[in-house]
Structure 1
Amino acid sequence: MLHKTRGIVINYIRYRETSIIVKVYTEKFGIQSFIENGVRSSKGKNKIALFQPLSLLDLVIYHDEKKDLHRISEIKAGFPFLTLPYEIHKSSIAMFLDEVLNKTLKEHTENEVLFDFLYHSLIFLDETEEHFENFHLIFLLKYAFFLGFSPQDAAEIVTQFKEFNITIPFDNDYQKLMNQLILADYQTPLLMNRGVRNHLLEVIIIFYQLHVEEFGEIKSLQVLREVLS
């Protein structure tokens, strides 16, 4: 049956000589996988650029609840990015966010509020011209709400770290900044140096590791730390 839906590309893997299997977070059906034939061929109807991670798409899809792999009938860019893939600071943040989403987006059901949050967060990152160096920190704290474990304040993080015997430094100065991040929106300018930002990111990632099974290591983290100096 044909359905119209928006989608956010999470990743793709090569399949056979010219095809891919692409994982998309859809507005109507949550995480879904699609096979796209011929996309890596010059003769393919659709171009591989449409399937780059975090691309925002308008889709018409064939969806069968009994199948794990679906097909795309029509596709076009829902919001063509102007800066996100090309500006190194933004692309490093995007690479990090995509890895987090790949580890955490699991549901195969509709969640319109979460989809809108992700969709409009990516548009904001593409369009904003300044004060986005803390975007990934604020994103993670807001996203944790949808995953069911957002901290109300820094004290809650401290309590949970004590319960699990986690000894990462998290003194009053760090806690004050964390509380500001929890209350911030993407446009809130919060001044902090590279070291402080990286440390707070490490605290948030450990918090995620406590709550998300098999969250593990973030491979893109080192690149992000180096770029956002």
Structure 2
Amino acid sequence: MLSTTNAIVLSKLKYRDNDLIVKCYTQEHGVVGFLLNGVLKSKKTNKKVAYFQPLSQIQIVFNYTKTRSLYAIKEVRINNPYTSLHSHILKSAVVLFLSEILTTALQEEEKNEALYSYLETTLLWFDNENEYANFHLLFLLKLTKYLGFYPDTSNIYRSFFNLEDGSFQEREEGKHSISGENLILLKDLLGIKFDALHTIKINAQKRQSFLNMILLYFRLHLGSFRTPKSLQVFNQVFS
């Protein structure tokens, strides 16, 4: 079946001398892998490598059968061109970091229109914003809604948050209950939209502490989740 679908590039990996394996999150089929034969060899096709930068939004045409692990792309074009995500040094660091997280977190090979729309709209918002120091924190927190472990806010007034079961509690239970500054920031972020993100004022140390908490939250709820290799470099960039 010939399929035309929008897609967001999650990762690319050099394969043999002149090929690339690209993982995308597609609007119509969820996670799909592609083999780009000879794309690094030919000068004529080499320009297409630029289409597959991390988190690029593209439109692709390919034969989809559900029985293959890797597909060949018949046609590709940029769908929503960015103006800053791949050219601004700080934004590009965020993009690399988030693409690594999404590559690990997104495994489903089925359509999820709500998740795709979330990724598409938030990345376009990020591309156009000048105040984005806390973007990755809110992005990851809201992503949990689509992955099935968004915090239960029914008792948000309570004094502890249990990372293991995703709920607010009256007392500390287990080794993964949080309180203090991380709890305050969690409650603040749960109550805002991206357009109000500039109202959250925290320093680099608090930002890093909260990010480590969020990554632990992901590890506790996603068995296959791995801490991004780029975490140390990312923290240095935003220190």
TM-score (norm 1): 0.91
Deviation at 1:73, TM superposition (A): 1.1
> Aligned pairs, how many?
226
Letter in 1 for 2:144: A
Question: Are residue 186 (structure 1) and residue 189 (structure 2) matched?
Answer: no
Identical counterparts, % of pairs? 34
Per the alignment, residue 17 of structure 1 pairs with 17
Letter in 1 for 2:114: V
Pairing partner for 2:184 from 176, 179, 182: 176
Asked whether the equivalents of residues 63 and 71 of structure 1 are also in contact (C-alpha less than 8 Å), the reply is no
Letter in 2 for 1:62: N
Q: 1:71 to 1:163 in 2, by over 3 A?
A: farther
The alignment yields a C-alpha RMSD, in angstroms, of 1.9
Per the alignment, residue 52 of structure 1 pairs with 53
Q: How does 1:115-134 map to 2 (within 5 A)?
A: 115-130=116-131, 132-134=132-134
Letter in 2 for 1:100: I
Question: Are residue 223 (structure 1) and residue 233 (structure 2) matched?
Answer: yes
Per the alignment, residue 140 of structure 1 pairs with 140
Per the alignment, residue 159 of structure 1 pairs with 162
Unpaired runs of 5+ residues, structure 1, are: none
Q: 1:108 to 1:146 in 2, by over 3 A?
A: same
Pick which of 185-194 and 45-54 moved more: 45-54
CA deviation vs aligned residue, 1:180-210 (integer Å, no higher than 9, x gap):
1112222222011111111111111111111
Deviation at 1:157, TM superposition (A): 6.7
Question: Are residue 83 (structure 1) and residue 87 (structure 2) matched?
Answer: no
Deviation at 1:9, TM superposition (A): 0.7
Q: 1:85 to 1:183 in 2, by over 3 A?
A: same
Per the alignment, residue 37 of structure 1 pairs with 37
Asked whether the equivalents of residues 157 and 207 of structure 1 are also in contact (C-alpha less than 8 Å), the reply is no
Letter in 2 for 1:59: I
Find the aligned partners of 1:157 and 1:15 in 2 and give their Cα distance.
47
Asked whether the equivalents of residues 22 and 34 of structure 1 are also in contact (C-alpha less than 8 Å), the reply is yes
Per the alignment, residue 169 of structure 2 pairs with none
Asked whether the equivalents of residues 152 and 182 of structure 1 are also in contact (C-alpha less than 8 Å), the reply is no
